């Protein structure tokens, strides 16, 4: 009887594997290797030992535009120790091109790479639904935060809490992440229709 249950539950785990592929807090982040807008490859594995912030983005989305005009991302990154934290933007928009990313990066004047995921494979492996949708991955490659950049979807609060900043500060300080998930808000990721 016991063996049967064990076999069944193991079977369920394997069968269920694709369903569990989302980057869930507390589990290892899905591995990936993507080229940035200049063609340089970045893999999650190469940043082991550093805290990695992933930002799903799409310059055409009004929510992303609002955060870039307010410099939310740049200001958040500025608050971290550059030796310990890596910031990677990922664009899973089906019709995005490296040239568009390069042009946008120049206009907005930020320094971190924009990873090119027009196929949507990496976005879907993380379960990224919105732009912006943020993930914080610890030094061992485990997801520690998934959700919105802050608690202010409408951009009107003067007392907003920046969840990404709180999560990274907690990780670097050896503390528990105060808010491990939040509901991401924004435009949907414009994935390639499959």
Residues that bind another protein (CB under 8 A): 5, 9, 12-13, 16, 20, 24-27, 60-63, 124, 129-130, 142, 153-154, 176, 179-181, 183-191, 193-194
Q: Is 69 helix (H, G, I), strand (E, B) or coil?
A: helix
101 token code pair: 């990313």
Sequence-distant (6+) residues with CB within 8 A of 162 are 72, 76, 149, 150
Shortest distance, CB of residue 139 to another protein, whole angstroms?
Answer: 14
159 token code pair: 């007392």
Question: Edge-to-edge strands of the sheet including 143-147?
Answer: 114-116, 85-91, 51-56, 133-137, 143-147
| Other beta carbons within 10 Å of 20 | 9
Shortest distance, CB of residue 53 to another protein, whole angstroms?
Answer: 18
Task: Give the DSSP letter string of 10-45.
Answer: HHHHHHTGGGGGS--TTSBPPP-EEEBTTS-EEETG
Nearer to another protein, 32 or 63 (CB): 63
Nearer to another protein, 88 or 189 (CB): 189
Nearer to another protein, 115 or 177 (CB): 177
Nearer to another protein, 83 or 154 (CB): 154
Cα–Cα distance for residue pair 85/152, rounded to 1 Å: 24
Nearer to another protein, 98 or 153 (CB): 153
Task: Give the DSSP letter string of 124-161.
Answer: HHHT--EESEEEEE-TTSBEEEEE-SBS-TTS--SS--
Shortest distance, CB of residue 41 to another protein, whole angstroms?
Answer: 25
Nearer to another protein, 27 or 43 (CB): 27
Shortest distance, CB of residue 82 to another protein, whole angstroms?
Answer: 27
């Amino acid at each position: 009887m016991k063996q049967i249950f064990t076999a069944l539950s193991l079977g369920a785990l394997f069968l269920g594997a694709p369903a569990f592929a989302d980057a869930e807090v507390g589990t290892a982040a899905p591995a990936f290797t993507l080229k940035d807008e200049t063609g340089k490859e970045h893999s999650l594995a190469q940043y082991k030992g550093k805290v990695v912030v992933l930002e799903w983005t799409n310059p055409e989305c009004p929510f992303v535009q609002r955060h870039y005009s307010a410099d939310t991302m740049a200001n958040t990154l500025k608050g971290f120790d550059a030796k310990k934290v890596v910031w990677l933007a990922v664009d899973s928009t089906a019709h995005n091109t490296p040239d568009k990313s390069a042009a946008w990066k120049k206009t907005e004047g930020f320094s971190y790479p924009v990873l090119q995921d027009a196929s949507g494979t990496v976005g879907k492996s993380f379960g990224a639904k919105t732009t912006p949708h943020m993930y914080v991955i610890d030094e061992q490659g485990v997801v520690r935060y998934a959700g919105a950049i802050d608690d202010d979807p409408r951009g009107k609060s003067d007392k907003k809490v920046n969840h990404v900043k709180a999560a990274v500060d907690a990780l670097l300080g050896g503390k528990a992440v105060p808010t491990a998930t939040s509901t991401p808000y924004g435009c949907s990721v414009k994935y390639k229709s499959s």
